[in-house]
Structure 1
Amino acid sequence: MDVKMQLGSQHIVLHLEDNSATRDLVSRLPLTVDLEDFGHGAEKIFYTPSKLDTSQVRRDDTTTAGTVAIFEPWGNICIFLHPSNRAYGLIQLGLVSAEDVKVLRSVSAREATLSLA
């Protein structure tokens, strides 16, 4: 499943796995969220209005630049802009491309709109 994230005049595509959390996210689209910088530029994060269904998901703390995951303790969705070896409690949702990671690193938009790609 692909989800488009509109960031002002630019957009990126989230390539999502098929699991209970991503299906729940897609069922809520379109969705406008507040995008925040986190971890001194290591991640972009946002919250959905309520937590996603995590009953059938893959828990894996491995990250690369472009990893899209839920940080389970807080319930936020994070997009990693750099690999991290200190991320724990992650539920894998998918990936964004290296090119889209570059867009995220440079974008200053605070509001993002998610829709089906």
Structure 2
Amino acid sequence: MNIRLTTDGRVVNATLNDSAAARDFASLLPLTLELSDFHETERIADLPRRLATAGAPASADPEAGDVAFYAPWGNLAIYYRDAPRADGVVILGRLADGGAEVLATAGRVTIER
């Protein structure tokens, strides 16, 4: 499924994978979220509810451009740098080329189908 993230008038396209967690995330759209920086690697925001993660891998190796759910905290993570393998990270999809750079400093983002 294709989604669009808009911040400061700039649009970034992304594609969600076909996982149950990604479909659950899509069911929340549209969303407007306030992003904050985490470890100079990712932009994070709280979601209105936790996503269903049944059947998801227990960990992932996030890369710049990944859109993910961090199950232990229940937040969305948009990676603008590669990160080490982490338990509880569920990859939901991927930003289009150049999207990670646009979102690296984003504050408010609107995400829609």
Q: TM-score, normalised by structure 2?
A: 0.87
| Separation (CA, whole Å) in 2 of partners of 1:3 and 1:63 | 19
Aligned to 1:57: 56
Quote the RMSD (CA, aligned, Å). 1.7
Aligned to 1:2: 2
Q: Deviations over 1:10-30 (max 9, x none)?
A: 121221111211111211211
Alignment of 1:17-96 (within 5 A): 17-39=17-39, 41-85=40-84, 87-96=86-95
- Uncovered stretches (5+) of structure 2, i.e. residues with no partner: none
- Uncovered stretches (5+) of structure 1, i.e. residues with no partner: none
Q: How many residues align?
A: 113
Equivalent of 1:113, from 91, 110, 113? 110
| Residues 60 and 92 in structure 1, CA contact (< 8 A), matched pair in contact too | no
| Residues 66 and 97 in structure 1, CA contact (< 8 A), matched pair in contact too | yes
* C-alpha displacement of 1:76: 0.8
Q: Deviations over 1:38-87 (max 9, x none)?
A: 11x21011121111111243443212111221111101111111111253
| Identity across matched positions, percent | 33
